[in-house]
Amino acid sequence: MVKICGINDAAGFDAALAAGADLVGFVFFPPSPRAVSPAVAASLSARQAGGAGRVGLFVDPDDALLEAVLAALPLDLIQLHGAESPERCAMLRARFGRPVMKALGIAAESDLAALDRYAGAVDRFLLDAKPVPGDALPGGNARRFDWSLPTRRRIPLPWLLAGGLTPANVADAIAESGAPGVDVSSGVERARGVKDPAMVAAFVASAHAAPDAAPRRMARPAT
């Protein structure tokens, strides 16, 4: 399973779908250079029906933002990339009736303890590099973490690996981490916030071809 995150223009959206990405992510976090309004996300999503699940990325969203986004386009998955508690994740999942993917920042094995705290409250995990002081954003910083860490714990839900992935390293990342899916943003950009269609195509091809992976093993979220 391959997710291309931070889609904010037609070329990036078209490239992701043409390449066979399983999920495309829209960032609803205004400080991000990849941020889109609900209207822009809806118009990009309408370029092609189906083809990839639509993911909305939020950072500690209030209910009003989720209402506005879901009124504009039918998300398949809500990605929570802030400090949302397990209780808040469960509440949003119940209120909006969409599966939730919780992003967990990982820098050391001890960070994996959060998996058990969230397991009953969410549907999937995104294991991403933990931001460090000075990072501009809570995610999407092209920072990677030790790919062997996920192998040290049983991960109780379907999950994606993220953080600093590129077309050149994604096969190694899958092999070393055992990830059933991957998520990328910076590594398929020609400039910060600008997706490069050729890099998107190369990333999806490399991830789907990775011999040690089962990237399509994790079913798409129900729509």
Ligand X SMILES: O=C(O)c1ccccc1NCC(=O)[C@H](O)[C@H](O)COP(=O)(O)O
Say how far apart CA 124 and CA 96 lie, in whole Å: 16
Counting contacts by CB under 6 A, is residue 32 touching ligand X? yes
Residues of this chain, 50-89, that bind ligand X according to CB under 6 A: 57, 59, 81
Say how far apart CA 20 and CA 194 lie, in whole Å: 19
Say how far apart CA 38 and CA 150 lie, in whole Å: 34
| Cβ atoms within 10 Å of 86's Cβ, excluding its own | 16
Q: Which stretch in 65-73, 151-159, 180-188, 207-215 sits in contact with ligand X by CB under 6 A?
A: 180-188
Say how far apart CA 8 and CA 60 lie, in whole Å: 20
Q: Which stretch in 38-46, 89-97, 115-123, 140-148 sits in contact with ligand X by CB under 6 A?
A: 140-148
In the complex with ligand X, the residue whose CB is nearer, 94 or 108, is 108
Q: Quick check: is 89 catalytic?
A: no
Which DSSP helix (H) or strand (E) runs through 161? Answer: strand 159-162
Counting contacts by CB under 6 A, is residue 26 touching ligand X? no
In the complex with ligand X, the residue whose CB is nearer, 49 or 140, is 140
Q: Which residues bind ligand X (CB under 6 A)?
A: 5-6, 27, 29, 32, 34, 57, 59, 81, 126, 128, 137-142, 162-165, 183-187
